[in-house]
Amino acid sequence: MRQFRLKVNGKEVQVEAPAGITLLKLLRDYLGLTGTKEGCGEGECGACTVLLDGVAVVSCLLPAAKAEGREVTTIEGLAQGEKLHPLQEAFISEGAVQCGFCTPGMILSAKALLDNNPRPTKDEIREALSGNLCRCTGYSQIVRAVEKAAEVMARGE
């Protein structure tokens, strides 16, 4: 066992967990942040995507030690109290949420994109989401949701 210190969703945390644990397991099993999902466990599906210092990463492959002293954002960290993030709102309004399993990873990948490119093209959105698999929506609603959120965020709403 070892102590891990990192910033999660804006709060400094210290947690004791096995030394070789992945960031995904640390978040879910030790911090109770279950919005991050384990899909394939091989870094292929994107369900476990979180932001590490603002960059989208697959947490199922990332040793928690690599997050030491860094900032992690999970889906639970996007909303401001009861107010959802524009991406969360857009995913709901555009019907981009079906079973919901891939949604946290999709939203965090989209957030990383919009933080670096506030007005992406459809192709740039598709590229940014290419590491995230969805078996329910067919992706068109997801792309529309990201476009809508980009518009809302550009207006400062």
- Per-residue pLDDT tens digits for 7-60: 999 999 999 999 999 999 999 999 999 999 999 999 999 999 999 999 999 999
Q: In what order do the strands lie in the sheet with 11-17?
A: 11-17, 2-8, 71-73, 49-52, 55-58
CA distance 157 to 151: 9
- Per-residue model confidence as pLDDT tens digits over 74-122: 999 999 999 999 999 999 999 999 999 999 999 999 999 999 999 999 9
Q: Give residues with Cβ within 8 angstroms of 11, minimum separation 6.
A: none
Q: How far apart, in Å, are the Cα atoms of 142 and each of 29, 40, 88, 147? A: 29, 21, 11, 9
Phi/psi of residue 21, each to 5°? -65, 150
